[in-house]
């Protein structure tokens, strides 16, 4: 169904949210359980209450905003995203799905539409891995992908546990209570910027996600022998960083070697010890991200990286240890939801294309408990996680209109 999206209201809210940050604009930093995170949550809850929606928080701060349907006992239709932001990020990652989800609900309400099923907007806690080194821990807990031991096991860089930090932020109660039943949602749809260049490049305003790539994270530690950069002669070195450099290239080679465009391998962090220009590196800790839409293909890349580590370890005389931080399964969007999005876009006269999400989102874990779908809108130059991240008001408005129509279809059955 067609609704009237209040673009001015929505863009004003996106702009205001961008001012709630730990750093000066245009950069945005909102780490979960920080003061900025708390202020943003409080402001958002006020918007939802003003719209006549019921708001509740769970024990880790996932926020549920409910528009009661005519048959509230039925499983609800969910939508939503996140508002936490990595350091020096932009204004649209996640926030378009949260504030756009709110605008979709308001637009439907203002049109006079009455949903049969309740529609629920979810603000996920900590999609970004900034604080605890693991992404999507709110949706992981909701779906049962993360166990209750995470309350003590997850710690930030200062050693503070999830339990300590959530309690200090005002979120109390048993962490076991966070998990939702498998019949809680009948469907879940997330609106998000693409975070890539394909839609803009092809001039298509709507992407319909068919698959979400699965990430796997490795922490690889290299133990060599340090010494003076001049006194430790080249034939006798066991340079940990030289060994690590070979593995960086091995990651690239393994990812490219699958021949599949959906395979990606990245070394995004590398800490060198002792970190002096005139000292041979004795220890290196690096973190590797490998992801693919095909789990077996991704795991084949991980196997190749492990084999490369063993070969380099033996040849260079260093010790290499590998810790798997996470290994999540890919997710497929529900064909019924893909069709609902496509039909809605068609009714609105909006061009759309089916595509893969190579970034992962909370929807990856929501797919474990309900049929899932995602709607992408273009972002300028495909840029994301940077202060110059941008989505136009026109593209955001179209995305919200397609989301609203999709929610209306799903909530009617």
391-395 long-range Cβ contacts below 8 angstroms, 24+ apart: 391/92, 391/96, 391/193, 393/7, 393/11, 395/205
CA-closest candidate to residue 411, choices 105, 7, 63, 80: 105
Q: Is the pLDDT of residue 1 over 80?
A: no
The stretches of 214-319 forming alpha helices (DSSP H) are 240-257, 295-316
pLDDT at position 191? 98
Query: 5-43: per-residue pLDDT in tens?
Result: 999 999 999 999 999 999 999 999 999 999 999 999 999
In order, the DSSP letters of 14-45 are HHHHHTSSSS-TTSEEE-TTSHHHHHHHHHHH
Helices (H), 86-209: 95-111, 137-143, 150-153, 162-168, 198-202
State residue 182's pLDDT score: 86
pLDDT value of position 214: 85
Q: State residue 188's pLDDT score.
A: 98
Q: pLDDT at position 133, please?
A: 85
Convert the pLDDT of each residue in 274-300 to its tens digit: 999 999 999 999 999 999 999 999 999
Average pLDDT, the chain: 97
Q: State percent of the chain over pLDDT 70.
A: 100
Instruction: Provide CB contacts within 8 A for 177, sequence distance 6+.
Output: 58, 59
Q: How many CA atoms lie within 13 A of 211 on its CB side?
A: 13
Residue 70 has pLDDT above 90, yes or no: yes
Is residue 136 over pLDDT 80? yes
What the chain holds in terms of domains, given with CATH numbers, is 7-212+330-411 (3.40.630.10), 214-327 (3.30.70.360)
Q: Is 203 left (phi over 0), alpha (psi -120 to 50) or beta?
A: left
Query: Coil, strand or helix: which one is 323?
Result: strand
Look at residue 326 in the predicted model and tell me its pLDDT. Answer: 87
Give residue 215's pLDDT: 87
How far apart are the C-alpha atoms of 197 and 186, rounded to whole Å? 32
**Which helix (H) or strand (E) is 266 found in, with range?**
strand 264-273
Q: For 111-128, what is the mean pLDDT?
A: 97
Give 186-225 pLDDT, tens digit per residue. 999 999 999 999 999 999 999 999 999 988 999 999 999 9
Report the pLDDT value the prediction gives residue 23, as an integer from 0 to 100.
96
Using an 8 Å Cβ cutoff, are 253 and 368 in contact? Answer: no
Q: How many residues would you count in the chain?
A: 413
């Amino acid at each position: 169904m067609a609704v009237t999206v209040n673009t001015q209201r929505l863009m004003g809210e996106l702009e205001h949210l961008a001012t709630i940050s730990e750093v000066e604009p245009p950069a945005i930093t909102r780490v979960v359980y920080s003061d900025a995170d708390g202020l943003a949550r409080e402001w958002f809850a006020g918007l939802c209450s003003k719209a006549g929606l019921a708001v509740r928080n769970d024990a880790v701060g996932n926020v549920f905003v409910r528009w009661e349907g005519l048959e509230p006992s039925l499983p609800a239709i969910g939508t939503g995203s996140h508002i936490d932001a990595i350091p020096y990020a932009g204004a649209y990652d996640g926030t378009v799905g949260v504030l756009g989800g709110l605008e979709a609900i308001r637009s439907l309400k203002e049109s006079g539409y009455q949903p049969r099923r309740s529609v629920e907007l979810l603000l996920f806690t900590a999609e970004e891995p900034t604080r605890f080194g693991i992404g999507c821990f709110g949706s992981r807990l909701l779906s049962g992908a993360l166990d209750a031991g995470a309350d003590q096991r997850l710690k930030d860089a200062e050693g503070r546990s999830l339990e300590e930090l959530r309690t200090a932020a005002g979120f109390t109660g048993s962490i076991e209570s966070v998990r939702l039943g498998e019949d809680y949602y009948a469907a879940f749809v997330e609106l998000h910027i693409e975070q890539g260049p394909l839609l803009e490049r092809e001039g298509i305003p709507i992407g319909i996600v068919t698959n979400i790539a699965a990430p796997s994270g490795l922490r690889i530690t290299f133990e060599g022998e340090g010494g003076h950069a001049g006194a430790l002669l080249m034939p006798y070195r066991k340079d940990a960083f030289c060994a690590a450099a070979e593995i960086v290239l091995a990651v690239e080679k393994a990812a490219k070697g699958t021949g599949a465009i959906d395979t990606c391998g990245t070394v995004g962090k590398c800490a060198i010890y002792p970190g002096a220009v005139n000292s041979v590196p004795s220890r290196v800790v690096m973190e590797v991200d490998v992801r693919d839409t095909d789990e077996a293909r991704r795991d084949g890349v991980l196997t190749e990286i492990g084999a490369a580590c063993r070969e380099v370890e033996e040849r260079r005389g260093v010790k290499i240890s590998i810790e798997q931080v996470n290994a999540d399964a890919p997710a497929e969007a529900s064909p019924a939801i893909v069709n609902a999005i496509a039909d809605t876009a068609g009714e609105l006269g909006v061009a759309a294309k089916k595509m893969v999400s190579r970034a992962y989102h909370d929807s990856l874990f929501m797919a474990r408990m309900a049929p899932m779908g995602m709607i992408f809108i273009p972002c300028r130059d495909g840029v994301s996680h940077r202060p110059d991240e941008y989505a136009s008001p026109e593209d955001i408005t179209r995305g919200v209109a397609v989301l609203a129509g999709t929610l209306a279809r799903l909530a009617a059955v």
